[in-house]
Amino acid sequence: MAIEEKKLNEEKKLKSPLAHEKNNDPLAEINDKIDNLTSLILVRQIEDHINLMTTELLDSNKLRDQKIETLTEKINNQNELLQDIKDLLSRNLIQTATKVEKQALEEISRPILDESDDEIKIAPLPDKEEVEEQIQTPVVEENKEEVHETLEELEPVQEEVEEQQLVIPDTMDINQGVKVIERGQVDDLILSNATTYIKNKGDKLVINGINEEEEEEDKKSELEEAEEKLEEQEQLDLSRGDITEVTEEETLTDEVPTVEGAQDITPSEAQQVVAQESIEQPNQAAEEVPQDIENTTKYTYENIKANKTFVERVKTINSKLSSNNEADLTSMPQNMKQSWDDNLIVMPEVLGEHLAR
Amino acid sequence: MNQDKLTITIDGQEKIYDVYYSFTCPQTNKGYIAYSEHQKDNDGNEIIMVSSYDPNISTMKLYPVTDPKEMELVQEVFEKIKSIA
């Protein structure tokens, strides 16, 4: 509308001056015409420009619409994808939920299904009278009596234990009582309870080689056997009617000289008797258990120093023995003999030096 | 240490023991000493007592021989002396 009004106004302007100039001056008319033409050209240019602008606008609008369409399509696609994902997730959730639910249901239903008897059993209540009896039973009194009895039984045991405890410190003191002994200062050597300990423990060496308490027990048993035999002999003699005065001492000396005769015979004779037994012991042990000796690790020794009088005394004992020591060595296992022979090289030298001193 | 005598003071009383024999054992790294004060048991046998000591130190402590293997060793040496004598 505004463009059309402008056109009309311009046309009016062009007509009116021409009419005026026709009447007045031809040059003025020409100038008016030129003006009109230029104005027309300008108008046309403006129109063209406007047309271009409109086309451009339209094109841009078209492009914008196209972009919007593409974007909407994309958005729609994404929405569809999201929807699909949602659907999948919801399906999975449902499936897992159903699985869990099934498992839970199975677990819950198992014990119920396994039980043959669906009824819940309730333990019968105890009889009222029994309960009352139990409550009225003097449990404490009974226990008191039992405790009293056990205490009475324990009293003598406790006394024994106390007596033993009184003894133990004397023996235990041995371990604590090992004292320092200065080497080379014979007269200044200080207390050692090791001797007491060895005595108590029975770790004593008898000069003839018998150091076990078992030996004493054996001797006791032998003595008992000898006494029994003596009694039997007496009974036999009595039964025969041949009553002779047989002293117990004589009979025992005949039967078991190694035990009973120890006090009657001289010490050297006693040593001889027992030494013979001890010399035979290693031989027997070697014959009985040679494999054990071979398998066990054997300690070796060196720097043996022996007392002259002691060796002489042992020598005297050995001279009275009938058995030969060489036989003992040959009967030993090979490895034991080897170590024995090895040490034999050392010992005579040391011993010889000492004996010569 | 005198090889023949061993004086030990027990409760203020000196006791003199005769040292019968002594030796060392490389495996146990100990020395062993057998001694006696000529006491006799009920059977009239002389009691010989045995102790161990550390041969590597100048001051000597006597220890009781508690290991049966060590006791066997001492016994064996005694038997050896018997065989030599």
The pLDDT of B53-81, averaged and rounded, is 83
Nearest C-alpha in B relative to A345: B84
Query: What's the whole-number average pLDDT of chain A?
Result: 62
- Closest Cα of chain A to B33: distance in Å? 9
CB contact under 8 A, A205 and B75: yes
Mutation target to probe the B interface, by most B beta carbons within 10 A, among A310, A313, A337, A347 is: A310
Of residues A82 and B4, more confidence is placed in: A82
How confident is the model at residue A244, as a pLDDT? 39
Q: What is d(CA A243, CA A251) in angstroms, rounded to the nearest whole number?
A: 15
Q: How many other CB atoms are there within 10 angstroms of residue A235's CB atom? A: 10
Using the predicted structure, report yes or no on whether residue A324 has a pLDDT greater than 50: no
Q: What is d(CA A200, CA A190) in angstroms, rounded to the nearest whole number?
A: 20
Question: Under a CB-based contact definition with an 8 Å cutoff, are residues B69 and B59 in contact?
Answer: no
Nearest to A183 among B7, B58, B85 (CB): B58
Question: Under a CB-based contact definition with an 8 Å cutoff, are residues A228 and B10 in contact?
Answer: no
Residues from chain B that touch A184, judged by Cβ atoms under 8 A, are 1-2
The reply to whether B27 touches chain A by the CB within 8 Å rule is yes
Residues from chain A that touch B82, judged by Cβ atoms under 8 A, are 209, 275, 279, 314, 317-318, 325
CA quadruple A54, A60, A63, A69: dihedral sign:
negative
Query: Is ipTM over 0.90?
Result: no
CB contact under 8 A, A312 and B73: no
How confident is the model at residue A289, as a pLDDT? 43
The reply to whether B29 touches chain A by the CB within 8 Å rule is no
From chain A residues 254-313, the ones with a CB under 8 A of any chain B CB are 259, 262-263, 267, 270-271, 274-275, 279, 282, 297, 299-312
- pLDDT band of A137, cuts 50, 70, 90: low
How confident is the model at residue A319, as a pLDDT? 67
Residue ranges per structural domain of chain B: 5-84
Percent of residues, chain B, with pLDDT higher than 90? 5
Using the predicted structure, report yes or no on whether residue A68 has a pLDDT greater than 80: yes
How confident is the model at residue A292, as a pLDDT? 45
The reply to whether A205 touches chain B by the CB within 8 Å rule is yes
Q: How many other CB atoms are there within 10 angstroms of residue A268's CB atom? A: 12
- A278-292 in b/e form (b: 16+ CB < 10 A) is bbeebbeebeeebee
- pLDDT band of A217, cuts 50, 70, 90: low
Percent of residues, chain A, with pLDDT higher than 90? 16
Q: What is the DSSP letter of B28?
A: T
SS3 A122: coil
Of residues A180 and A133, more confidence is placed in: A133
Residue ranges per structural domain of chain A: 2-109, 143-204, 280-357
Q: What is d(CA B72, CA A293) in angstroms, rounded to the nearest whole number?
A: 12
How confident is the model at residue A164, as a pLDDT? 54
From chain A residues 3-62, the ones with a CB under 8 A of any chain B CB are none
